[in-house]
Amino acid sequence: MSDRIAVIGAGQMGNGIAHVCAVAGHDVVMIDVSQAALDKGKGTIEKNLDRQVKKGALDEAAKAATLSRITTTTTMDAIASAAFVIEAATENVELKHKIFADMDRVAPAGAILATNTSSISITEIAGRVKRPESVIGMHFMNPVPVMQLVEVIRGLVTSDDVTARTVALAKGVGKTPVEVNDYPGFVANRILMPMINEAVYCVMEGVGTPEAIDQVMKLGMNHPMGPLTLADFIGLDTCLAILEVMHKGLGDPKYRPCPLLRKYVAQGWLGKKSGRGFYTY
Ligand code: NAD
């Protein structure tokens, strides 16, 4: 089998994952339902590679070679030649089931079926496909080219071989994998999202302005960025979806999404990607 990687979804995460895989020498096909998302994703990769060239981390030849390794398409058929499929589409459980059904149908035997989901149960996704032992969580952090961590999440029946190959891929693209177990939100978002949600409650209740709240956490806790700025970067729709999964999956009211977060998402204020969230971009 080739070492070709298919990345499904060309949004903020998908294009970042395609970027780091192609820099590391893999052929990558990026798949999205939207041609506009593919064009934007490829444009973002080019911009981020330029930034790496300016910093001296890459040279022009490496940039050109990286871009030549990335193709894009709107059809799932491209999965047929991939050894590794990484799903990074919108955080919605029904959508993930639909995409995994396609992955199960099209991917060659032995291929790894990974998901970059932030919170949805790996076992639940795996439970609907014919090869659940091949399904694994590979949770990259945003922005992918910069952040070191990949949370590797085993479902109930994920095989040792699939886990070992996923850990090896993460290391091969320059990341540090950390293995965790499959519970809603895993570790990163189980701890991060309650903090972001509490910061949104502080805005709603008038405890402080977004600027004041972010400054308290930056200056007082030494966080590199405040929780509301971070929420805008993650995407408020994604934050809401993660909180919903944790609330439903863990059943504890402490995970209930703040009504102000729901209101912003309903209005289309999704953070940086839509130009407006807690801040204006
Ligand atoms: P995004 O909104 O930027 O991109 C999602 C992309 O998925 C869009 O381009 C959309 O067109 C595409 N898509 C929708 N349906 C599709 C389908 N059927 N087939 C192919 N593509 C489809 O979202 P994102 O922030 O990149 O998040 C993607 C995934 O990564 C989610 O599961 C999210 O939870 C996870 N994640 C996000 C972050 C973050 O900080 N944003 C961090 C880690 C993981």
The pLDDT value recorded for residue 2 is 64
Number of domains within the chain: 2
Do the strands 149-154 and 135-140 form a parallel or antiparallel pair, or are they unpaired? antiparallel
Q: Which of 143, 146, 141 is nearest to 52 (CA)?
A: 146
Give yes or no: residues 175 and 193 share one domain: no
The reply to whether 197 belongs to the active site is no
Domain-terminating residue out of 124, 150, 180? 180
Q: Which atom of ligand 1 is nearest to the CA of 237?
A: 2
CATH of the domain at 161: 3.40.50.720
Burial of 223 (0-12, 13-18, 19+ CB in 10 A): middle
**Residue 43 neighbours by CB under 8 Å, 6+ apart:** none
Q: Report the C-alpha gap between 270 and 261 in whole angstroms.
A: 9
The pLDDT value recorded for residue 47 is 97
Give yes or no: residues 172 and 204 share one domain: no
> What is the Å distance from ligand 1's center to 132 Cα?
22
CATH of the domain at 193: 1.10.1040.10
Give yes or no: residues 115 and 215 share one domain: no
Question: Of the residues 7, 8, 13, which should be mutated to test ligand 1's pocket, given the most ligand atoms within 8 Å of the CB?
Answer: 13
Residue 268 covered by a domain = yes
Residue 280 covered by a domain = no
Domain-terminating residue out of 180, 215, 234? 180
Evaluate: CB of 72 within 6 angstroms of ligand 1. no
Residue 202 is part of which domain span?
Answer: 189-274
- Residue 63 falls in which region: left (phi positive, over 0), alpha (psi -120 to 50) or beta: alpha
Give yes or no: residues 157 and 203 share one domain: no
Give 68-126 pLDDT, tens digit per residue: 999 999 999 999 999 999 999 998 999 999 999 999 999 999 999 999 998 899 999 99
The pLDDT value recorded for residue 237 is 97
Which residue has its alpha carbon closest to ligand 1 atom 36? 118
Give yes or no: residues 257 and 194 share one domain: yes
Give 49-59 pLDDT, tens digit per residue: 999 999 999 99
pLDDT one digit per residue (tens) for the chain, 281 residues: 568 999 999 999 999 999 999 999 999 999 999 999 999 999 999 999 999 999 999 999 999 999 999 999 999 999 999 999 999 999 899 999 999 999 999 999 999 999 999 889 999 999 999 999 999 999 999 999 999 999 999 999 999 999 999 999 999 999 999 999 999 999 999 999 999 999 999 999 999 999 999 999 999 999 999 999 999 999 999 999 999 999 999 999 999 999 999 999 999 999 999 999 999 99
Give yes or no: residues 47 and 89 share one domain: yes
Give yes or no: residues 37 and 166 share one domain: yes
Token digits of residue 119: 């919170």
Residue 279 covered by a domain = no
Evaluate: CB of 8 within 6 angstroms of ligand 1. yes
Which amino acid appears at position 230 of this protein?
A: L
Give yes or no: residues 153 and 202 share one domain: no
> What is the Å distance from ligand 1's center to 13 Cα?
6
The pLDDT value recorded for residue 32 is 98
The reply to whether 151 belongs to the active site is yes
Evaluate: CB of 73 within 6 angstroms of ligand 1. no
The reply to whether 118 belongs to the active site is yes
The pLDDT value recorded for residue 119 is 87
**Starting from the edge strand earliest in sequence, which strands make up the sheet with 112-115, in order?**
70-73, 28-31, 5-8, 84-87, 112-115, 135-140, 149-154, 176-180
What's the predicted TM-score (pTM) here?
0.93
Give yes or no: residues 27 and 145 share one domain: yes
